[in-house]
Amino acid sequence: MHEGRHHPKVAVVGLGYVGTCIAGTLADRGLEVVGVDTDSQLIAELSAGYCRFQEAELADLISAQIAGGLLRVTTDYSEITATDVVLLTVGTPVHTDGSLEDKQLTGACLELARHLRAGQLVVLKSTVPPGTTRRTVLSLLEQSGLIGGEGFHLAFTPERLAEGTALRDLRELPIVVGGLDAESSRDAAEFWRRALGGEVIVLDSLESAEIVKLANNWWIDLNIALANELAKFCALFDVDVLDVIEAANTLRKGKGNVNILLPSIGVGGSCLTKDPWMVWHSAQQRELEIQTAPAGRRVNDGMPTYTAQLILDELTKLGKDPATAKVAVLGLAFKNNTGDLRATPTQGTVEALVKSGAEVRIYDPLVDVDRARALFGIKPAASLQEAVQDADCLAVLALHRQLEDIDFATLPVAAQCLVLDGRAYYPKEKVAALRELGYVYRGVGR
């Protein structure tokens, strides 16, 4: 990075969910940003100021920064040569055995090597198995003829934003840095301090920073698995799992409190469903058998069918035949306040309901209608009203802000309609109000 330069010019390679959020945020902070992606359709959309990702504030941010000129997007890698810092944010999915599917990463690095310039700082942000920045990124970039540490600096900074709160996370979360060498670490830390102004935590190596990301997601997935099993356990005793969690979380432990997360219909998205497997596979390759990561995955993967069964059992209890019941699924995305359908657990629930013969309608104001139709094999309802007409069950599986104010009193549902709370966490007063209105309420572990 150019010493003393106050506003480094940044390239963001890979303008998916993460890259678009980062590129927009950096431009918003006054940096000149060029975004590079191989998807020409995506580039055309972004150039026109349109953002396909449904993330709070993102669409306005992108259109403003494109219009203002601080953010430019292109498929042309040669634009990278004129930048000071290159952030790599391409996708890093895993194969079914948990090994890294590194096509996007190697493709980006090979192309970057052709345009790398002496003095640049390259930072990998994509989640990878430990050792990937050193083994794959460094060696491919050195095909440029430049040597890592001398000709260019190299660091890893995990991306820890969560969809739904992505832009706030980018502005507020502490930033972790691990460099190839001390100079690379210093350079990267300095860049992040200038660029985002937040706390920067510098670790000893590329690998420690890589593992921080995996540790975070391993913990989150496993913690949710605990919450999900706790919910099933509470259901055995007719106990509200949310009461138990709230009280249990008042116990001081370690540097904070016990912090059991929330149960739900399952864990989805492109990260938590793969990163624990990345851990497991990396360990296996070195003859260590990790047991907790796969255990968490299995528990969470079982939740969509558990939820479907909950619905079917409740309908039966109400004297409604599941094979002819009408179920309106509200919220299809993998969690609240995102339009992302990747690995959404709602798919498993819908599939199980359809298999039982139920008539399933789907509705989500945030997701792309064509994608939803392709994924679920059902045409999404055009409106909430259309989805819930004569419904025997309203399955609220993702509670976006747009669904928070549903007026249950006026919905044209069937008598004794079941409200299945999959991720809404309606408070007790709301549950009581629903019962007053004639609804039957059931949550995961409630």
| Chain positions contacting ligand NAD, by CB under 6 A | 13-19, 36-39, 42, 89-92, 104, 107-108, 111, 126-127, 159, 161, 163, 270-271
Q: CB-wise, 157 or 347, nearer to ligand NAD?
A: 157
Residues 6 or more apart whose Cβ sits within 8 Å of residue 379? 373
Q: Rank residues 109 and 350 by Cβ distance to ligand NAD and give the closer one.
A: 109
Calpha distance 307→327 (Å, rounded): 13
Helix (H), strand (E), coil (C) string for 118-186? CCCEEEECCCCCCCHHHHHHHHHHHHHCCCECCCEEEEECCCCCCCCCHHHHHHHCCEEEEECCHHHHH
Strands 71-74 and 175-179: unpaired
CA distances from 332 to 170, 210, 293, 344, 420 (A): 25, 31, 26, 7, 14
Bridge-partner residues for 287, per DSSP? none
- Closest approach, Cβ 325 to ligand NAD, in A, equals 34
Cα dihedral sign for 260, 262, 264, 270? negative
d(C-alpha 369, C-alpha 363), whole Å = 9
DSSP bridge partners of 108: none
Considering the complex, state which of residue 93 and residue 151 has its C-beta at the smaller distance from ligand NAD: 93
In angstroms, give the least distance from the CB of 77 to ligand NAD.
Answer: 8
Question: Least Å distance between CB 52 and ligand NAD?
Answer: 10
CB 116 within 8 A of CB 143: no
Q: At its nearest, how many Å lie between ligand NAD and the CB of residue 386?
A: 30
DSSP conformation class of 66: H
For ligand NAD, which is the closer residue by CB, 17 or 277? 17
Nearer to ligand NAD, 220 or 312 (CB): 220
Q: How far is the CB of 156 from ligand NAD (least distance, A)?
A: 11
* Shorter beta-carbon distance to ligand NAD: residue 154 or 413: 154
- Pairwise CA distance, residues 149 & 327, whole Å: 59
Instruction: Tell me how far the alpha carbon of residue 99 is from its chain's centroid.
Output: 20
To the nearest whole angstrom, how small is the minimum distance from the Cβ of residue 23 to ligand NAD?
11
Nearer to ligand NAD, 42 or 444 (CB): 42
Q: For ligand NAD, give the closer residue by CB, 333 or 431.
A: 333
Q: Which two tokens stand for residue 47?
A: 């150039």
Q: Which amino acid, 10?
A: V
- Measured at CB, which residue is nearest to ligand NAD? 16
Q: Which residues contact 65 (CB under 8 A, 6 or more apart)?
A: 23, 24, 27, 28, 33, 71
> At closest approach, how far in Å is the CB of 347 from ligand NAD?
18
Q: Are 51 and 20 in contact (CB under 8 A)?
A: yes
Q: Sign of dihedral through CA atoms 327, 328, 330, 333?
A: positive
The distance of closest approach from Cβ of residue 312 to ligand NAD in the complex, given in angstroms and rounded to an integer, is 32
Closest CB to ligand NAD among residues 92, 228: 92
Q: Provide, rounded to whole angstroms, the least separation between the CB of residue 75 and ligand NAD.
A: 8
Return the closest-CA partner of residue 77 out of 46, 118, 34, 26.
34
How many helices, marked H, and strands, marked E, lie in the chain? 18, 15
Q: Does residue 387 contact residue 411 with C-beta atoms inside 8 Å?
A: no
Whichever of 217 and 307 has its CB closer to ligand NAD, that residue is 217
Tell me how far, at minimum, the Cβ of 127 lies from ligand NAD, in Å: 4
User: Length of the chain, please?
Assistant: 446
Backbone angles phi, psi at 148, to 5 degrees: -60, 135
